[in-house]
Amino acid sequence: MTTTDLESSTEAITAFLVPRDPRLTFGLLNPLTRPRPLPRPFDAKSTFYLFWARNALYHGIQILGLAAGDNVLVPAFHCASLVEPFIQRGVSVRFYRIDRGGNPDLADIRAKIDGRTRAVLAIHYFGFAGPVRDLRDLCTHHALFLIEDCAHVLTGRGEGGVLGEFGDISVFSWRKLLPIYDGGQLVVNNSALRPVLTLDQPSVLFRLRVWKNVVDRLIEDAPGGGLHRLSGLARWLSGAARRLFTRRGRPAAALAISNYGLHFDPSSVNVPMSGPSFRMVRTVDVDAVITLRREHFRTLLAGVAEIPDVMPLHRELPEGTCPWIFPFVARGRSAFHLRLRARGIPATTWGDVIHEDLAVDEFPEAKFLYESLIFLPVHQSLTAAELQTMIRILREEMRATS
Ligand SMILES: Cc1ncc(COP(=O)(O)O)c(C=O)c1O
């Protein structure tokens, strides 16, 4: 069974012992919560709130003036959803080498620059700062744009600066770190760029989809009891609405927004961040989220220290880092995440997110990462008991496969 099979199976997701994503609660939607000032780099810059980070990239590409015939250098270790916006704009993608530690190979980037190269995209994998200062210098030296992909970053510091302020443009994906279905952001740092972006007014149907997702999630994330009894009613209402729209010749899937899909949906590119997501972004206590994620990361780090053959990608948590997940390699095991999932641990990999244009055999280190790097959640809703459950089951499964 592949990760995608598992992800598309609701049974598999709801059967987890440990929640894969942060929980949505009524408290987080409280309309009386006052908006907070947004941290850097979101505060004083030219910025746009979009539905997905991939859509932010799509618009960023145009703002940078990249066009058909140009090429961009993109890491060989990536999520396909960030590659597609370039293809959609007719920009060729050339892949550069990433080592087993997730570090970009600057020599390979230099070697791949040609007369049509206009930009380099760099990813701060899993919330940890990459060598973005060197990449900035490289881009400035070669008169290229730097696209800083902060999709795994809530906010963070590193390399002596604020992540998201190094690139000519940067993109964020709030939805990966908060309990929301949508939420991407584009930050334009280069003051020579003149960003103009006209977004659509979301339709009534679209707003309905968004609110349906919010209600579904509230029910799903409720700790049991009352709200679960509502889920039958919600399912019935959702089915009735789907039948209604189908009868009117609209697609049957109109009321579903997948949180895990990789595809690029041209019909959503001009859709702004939804109302509930925008509110959450403005009201969430970012510092509290960072503190919890850091604590959970450290707990896992300490917990796996005694387990032979468990090798964390990062053995330290630098100041200013807000981790998205806990990446590690289970040495000598293959498809080990499936064993964890079978035991109720929402372990994931990037095995199924490779863009079809990547000749992965030409990048053995990236191939290794796709095949071997396993992610455990460290999100803000985890309890101490859930963290210990993950560590215990990891230990047991490592022992069982030694
Ligand atoms: C590094 C990176 N950039 C961009 C994206 C796209 O983010 P979104 O799903 O919000 O479009 C992803 C998605 O996983 C990603 O991992």
Nearest residue CA, atom 1 of ligand 1? 151
**What is the whole-number distance in angstroms between the Cα of residue 164 and the centre of ligand 1?**
15
Nearest residue CA, atom 8 of ligand 1? 53
> Predicted confidence band at 9 (pLDDT cuts at 50, 70, 90)?
very low
Task: Please tell me the distance from the alpha carbon of residue 62 to that of residue 90, in angstroms, as a whole number.
Answer: 11
**What is the whole-number distance in angstroms between the Cα of residue 79 and the centre of ligand 1?**
6
Q: Are residues 152 and 249 in the same domain?
A: no
Does residue 123 have its Cβ closer than 6 Å to ligand 1? yes
Does residue 79 have its Cβ closer than 6 Å to ligand 1? yes
Adjacent-strand bridge partners of 162 = 157
Q: Are residues 70 and 181 in the same domain?
A: yes
Does residue 53 have its Cβ closer than 6 Å to ligand 1? yes
Q: Are residues 51 and 184 in the same domain?
A: yes
Nearest residue CA, atom 7 of ligand 1? 53
Q: Is residue 196 part of a domain?
A: no
Residue 22, pLDDT > 90, answer yes
Count of structural domains within the chain: 3
Domain extent at residue 322: 3-24+285-397
Rg, C-alpha atoms of the chain: 21
What pLDDT sits at residue 111? 98
Q: Are residues 11 and 43 in the same domain?
A: no
The residue type at 87: I
pTM reported for the whole predicted model: 0.90
**What is the whole-number distance in angstroms between the Cα of residue 173 and the centre of ligand 1?**
7
User: Could you read off the pLDDT of 41-89 as tens digits, one per residue?
Assistant: 998 679 999 999 999 999 999 999 999 999 999 999 999 999 999 999 9
Q: Is residue 199 part of a domain?
A: no
Q: Are residues 77 and 134 in the same domain?
A: yes
Nearest residue CA, atom 14 of ligand 1? 79
Share of the chain above pLDDT 70, in %: 87
Contacts of 222 by beta carbon, 8 Å cutoff, 6+ apart: 228
Answer whether the bond into residue 31 is a cis peptide, omega within 30°.
no
> Predicted confidence band at 97 (pLDDT cuts at 50, 70, 90)?
very high
> Predicted confidence band at 256 (pLDDT cuts at 50, 70, 90)?
very low
Query: To test ligand 1's pocket by mutation, which of 176, 187, 325, 352 has the most ligand atoms within 8 angstroms of CB?
Result: 176
Q: Is residue 30 part of a domain?
A: no
Last residue of a domain, one of 261, 283, 305: 283
> Predicted confidence band at 186 (pLDDT cuts at 50, 70, 90)?
very high
**What is the whole-number distance in angstroms between the Cα of residue 395 and the centre of ligand 1?**
31
The Cα-based distances of 121 to 76, 100, 118, 351 in angstroms read 11, 18, 10, 21
Domain harbouring 90, CATH code: 3.40.640.10
How many CB atoms neighbour CB 40 within 10 A?
15
**Maximum separation of any 2 CA atoms in the chain, in Å:** 63
Last residue of a domain, one of 125, 155, 188: 188
User: 176 with 200: CB under 8 angstroms?
Assistant: no
Q: Is residue 193 part of a domain?
A: no
Does residue 82 have its Cβ closer than 6 Å to ligand 1? yes
What pLDDT sits at residue 221? 85
Structure tokens at 29: 């939607």
Does residue 81 have its Cβ closer than 6 Å to ligand 1? yes
**What is the whole-number distance in angstroms between the Cα of residue 81 and the centre of ligand 1?**
6
**What is the whole-number distance in angstroms between the Cα of residue 308 and the centre of ligand 1?**
32
Q: Are residues 274 and 303 in the same domain?
A: no
Residue 4, pLDDT > 70, answer no
What pLDDT sits at residue 139? 98
H helix count then E strand count, the chain: 13, 12
Q: Is residue 124 part of a domain?
A: yes
Q: Are residues 110 and 168 in the same domain?
A: yes
**What is the whole-number distance in angstroms between the Cα of residue 353 and the centre of ligand 1?**
10
Q: Is residue 95 part of a domain?
A: yes
Which has the minimum average pLDDT: 90-94, 199-203, 246-250, 270-274?
Answer: 246-250
Sign of CA dihedral 258, 88, 110, 187: negative
Looking at the CA of residue 54, tell me the nearest atom of ligand 1: 11
Buried b (16+ CB within 10 A) or exposed e, 286-298: beebbebbbbbbe
Nearest residue CA, atom 2 of ligand 1? 151
Q: Are residues 294 and 364 in the same domain?
A: yes
> Predicted confidence band at 205 (pLDDT cuts at 50, 70, 90)?
confident
Q: Are residues 178 and 266 in the same domain?
A: no
Q: Is residue 333 part of a domain?
A: yes
Does residue 52 have its Cβ closer than 6 Å to ligand 1? yes
Residue 72: phi, psi to the nearest 5?
-130, 145
48: left (phi over 0), alpha (psi -120 to 50) or beta: beta
Residue 189: phi, psi to the nearest 5?
-95, -30
> Predicted confidence band at 234 (pLDDT cuts at 50, 70, 90)?
low
Task: Please tell me the distance from the alpha carbon of residue 192 to that of residue 165, in angstroms, as a whole number.
Answer: 15
Q: Are residues 110 and 143 in the same domain?
A: yes
Q: Are residues 239 and 127 in the same domain?
A: no
- Average pLDDT of the residues in 152-157: 96
Last residue of a domain, one of 153, 188, 223: 188
Q: Are residues 295 and 260 in the same domain?
A: no
User: Could you read off the pLDDT of 100-142 as tens digits, one per residue?
Assistant: 999 999 999 999 999 999 999 999 999 999 999 999 999 999 9
Q: Is residue 55 part of a domain?
A: yes
